[in-house]
């Protein structure tokens, strides 16, 4: 299949591998896993939240969480589905740098995880 959009990958995978692990993160000594179907649910929750917040295509939202985490992927893909422009911010950025990024990029919302 020829993908045109990143968020099309999970539905494609769901057809073939709905219960296989799509994403995982380490929690202590154990792994928290998300099946393809569970990942799609999370991505769709983010899309719905964006719409509830009144975000529209072209609005800019900053994501500040650990890259490579499942949550990063859920936020990124969910926002892409509704046309929001994702502005990644590294979790170790200083307060001064964060303020600059938010102002320079005209960020509407800063989104992240603990």
Tell me the pLDDT tens digit for each residue of 35-70.
999 999 999 999 999 999 999 999 999 999 876 689
Q: What is the pLDDT of residues 58-106, one digit of tens each?
A: 999 999 987 668 999 999 999 999 999 999 998 889 999 999 999 999 9
**How far is the C-alpha of 79 from the C-alpha of 71, rounded, in Å?**
12
For residue 45, the SS3 value is helix
Decide if 70 contacts 43 (C-beta within 8 A): no
Domain definitions of the chain by residue range: 6-112
Fold of 6-112: Rossmann fold (3.40.50)
**How far is the C-alpha of 26 from the C-alpha of 33, rounded, in Å?**
9
**How far is the C-alpha of 103 from the C-alpha of 92, rounded, in Å?**
18
Chain-centroid distance of CA 65 in Å reads 10
For residue 93, the SS3 value is coil
Q: Which residue has the higher pLDDT, 2 or 23?
A: 23
Decide if 61 contacts 85 (C-beta within 8 A): yes
Look up residue 6 and give its two tokens.
């990143």
User: Could you count the other beta carbons within 10 Å of the beta carbon of residue 29?
Assistant: 5
Kindly report the average pLDDT of the chain as a whole number. Answer: 91
- Give the list of residues 6+ apart from residue 82 with CB closer than 8 angstroms, or none: 47, 50, 51, 55, 57
């Amino acid at each position: 299949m020829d993908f045109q959009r990143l968020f099309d990958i999970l539905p494609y995978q769901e057809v073939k591998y709905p219960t296989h692990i799509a994403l995982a993160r380490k929690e202590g000594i154990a792994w928290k896993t998300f099946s393809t179907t569970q990942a799609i649910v999370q991505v769709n929750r983010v899309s719905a939240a964006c719409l509830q917040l009144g975000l529209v295509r072209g609005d800019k939202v900053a994501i500040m969480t650990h890259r490579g985490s499942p949550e990063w992927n859920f936020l990124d893909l969910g926002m892409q589905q509704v046309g929001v422009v994702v502005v990644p911010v590294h979790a170790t950025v200083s307060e001064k740098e964060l303020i600059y990024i938010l102002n320079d990029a005209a960020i509407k919302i800063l989104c992240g995880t603990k």
